[in-house]
Amino acid sequence: MAITHPSFGTLAEDRIIIFDTTLRDGEQSPGFSMNIQEKLRMAEALAELGVDVMEAGFPIASPGDFESVQEIAKRFSKDGPVVCGLARTSPADIMAAAEAVKPAARKRIHSFVSTSPLHMRVKLRMEPEAVLDLVTSSVALARQHTDDVEWSAEDGTRTEPDFLCRCVEAAIKAGATTINIPDTVGYAVPEDMIRIFTMLRERVPGADRVVFSAHNHNDLGLAVANTLAAIRAGVRQIESTINGIGERAGNASLEEVVMALRTRHDAIPVKNGVTTERILKTSKLLATITGFDVQPNKAIVGRNAFAHESGIHQDGVLKDASTYEIMTPESVGWTTNSLVLGKHSGRAAFRDKLKALGYGEIGDNALNDAFRRFKDLADRKKVVYDEDVAALVDDEVVRGNDRVKLVGLTVATGLGVRPMATLALEVDGERRDGTAVGDGAVDATFNAIRQAFPHEVALKLFAVQSVTGGTDAQARVTVRLEENGKLVDGQGADTDTIVASARAYVHALNKLLAKRERTAPPEFQPALSA
């Protein structure tokens, strides 16, 4: 049946709301961290993709989180996505979320509290009746600041059915317009989704007036399957992330859910507002920002997703692509024409290519730096591919606001020679130089970075892969650093592997600086918020 929602008006019976939490739950992935400029860029890409609700962050978590949510809230008109801020049930959390999303043309406060016996006993140390009171008070307070309020039952799939019904009823009575039952620990199977949501829709008074939502984690690899099952059970909103990033094993992958709904419309006849042709660009942008590529065999966006090596498969695809492809590569943004530009290409053509690759509007200074690097690359490579262009501009465009920048590097090495690296960094606009030796050229380079910008970290991963084929291919290096249990990944690309390694380390270092600014939110004190 049709539902009237404060942010979406009257929803058609077959319309599914796409709620994206890449900027909130996704950023909690180990090693993933974004500064405010990266979050804004990702927010714009998500809006262009067509998500309906964007969970921009957890405002009370840190001043940086609050600022990023507030800046994103200022970004979009009424035609853009709903901007959502997460909050626990304490008044301080809810007021922080309310203030952060206040500038948004369309805003939402998302409040949550644990409802499972295990979480209430161990995490909250509260009795069920006290938790029930928190549900009412928190939703009522949120409703004083926006008509669009979502309430979530943390660990909802392990909550006792009767108590879950009571909590949902209390949230609805207090004014919640969306009810989310998260599979917080990835414990559920599809049958659980159908049972839980069918029960709530049948038993809870007022259930026909609200939107039910599913937020599934992937600990058992069932997040997408559980999300599709929830839709079949009447859920009208699904919560997901680009590339499936998120806590532990991640969340339901937005691209997989959306393409499953598009491909199997016969089995699940619903629609959504995502422009699927933008999926790959958004996926690649996130990989660039986080410094974490998707695995090659990742559904939809992995580089092998539409590759065919078996002779039998190749023969079938050549005769009719539908023999082995259930969707077209173009439907998610893949293109067979990746050969681009040359050393004689001009600035206008380069700008157009960047727009085609999903980089949007680029400032003149960033464009000039990226174009200079492109020209240098074109002089060194016989042919330049889309992948090359994307890799080289990331340092200048996506990471243009980094606090630490690599501005110079010279390495002396050879057989029987102790490698030595001399480099220059720019740290908050100030030049710093470093010279060091090492066990190899890369080790010497990293030691020189540490000398120029002193810090103590553990190098957990150093990996090299080629962006394209050939001996003149750019190397893409991934570096993982650890400081006090916090992990960050950085990436860098260049035809010189040592330069790429330095770029990757500096990228990771910038992420570490951003992560240092993130603090744990104030301890939740339920007695003060009841």
Measure the CA dihedral 142/143/144/148, to 10°.
100
CB 101 within 8 A of CB 69: yes
Distance CA 25, CA 292 (A): 16
Helix orientation angle between 190-203 and 223-232, rounded to the nearest 10 degrees:
30
Chain centroid to CA 472 = 32
**Rounded to 5°, angle at Cα 395 from 291 and 57:** 50
**Rounded to 5°, angle at Cα 60 from 58 and 65:** 55
Distance CA 318, CA 298 (A): 23
Residues 6 or more apart in contact with residue 225 via CB below 8 angstroms: 190
Q: Could you tell me which residues are annotated as the binding site?
A: 25, 215, 217, 251
Would you state the structure tokens that stand for residue 126, as one six-digit string? 């509260």
> What does residue 281 show for φ and ψ, rounded to 5 degrees?
-60, -40
Burial state string for 374-394 with b = 16 or more CB within 10 A and e = fewer than 16: beebbeebeebbbbbbbbbbb
Helix-strand-coil split of the chain, %, nearest 5: 45, 20, 35
Distance CA 102, CA 70 (A): 8
> What does residue 402 show for φ and ψ, rounded to 5 degrees?
-65, 145
Of 177, 275, 190, nearest to 229 (Cα)?
Answer: 190
Q: List, as one string, the DSSP characters of 23-87.
A: TTTGGGSTB----HHHHHHHHHHHHHHT-SEEEEE-GGG-HHHHHHHHHHHTT--TTSPEEEEEE
Beta-strand pair 417-427/404-414: antiparallel
The SS3 call for residue 400 is: coil
Would you state the structure tokens that stand for residue 505, as one six-digit string? 């380390």
**Rounded to 5°, angle at Cα 38 from 46 and 256:** 35
CB 451 within 8 A of CB 434: yes
Of 435, 440, 418, nearest to 501 (Cα)?
Answer: 440
Q: Could you tell me which residues are annotated as the binding site for Mn(2+)?
A: 25, 215, 217, 251
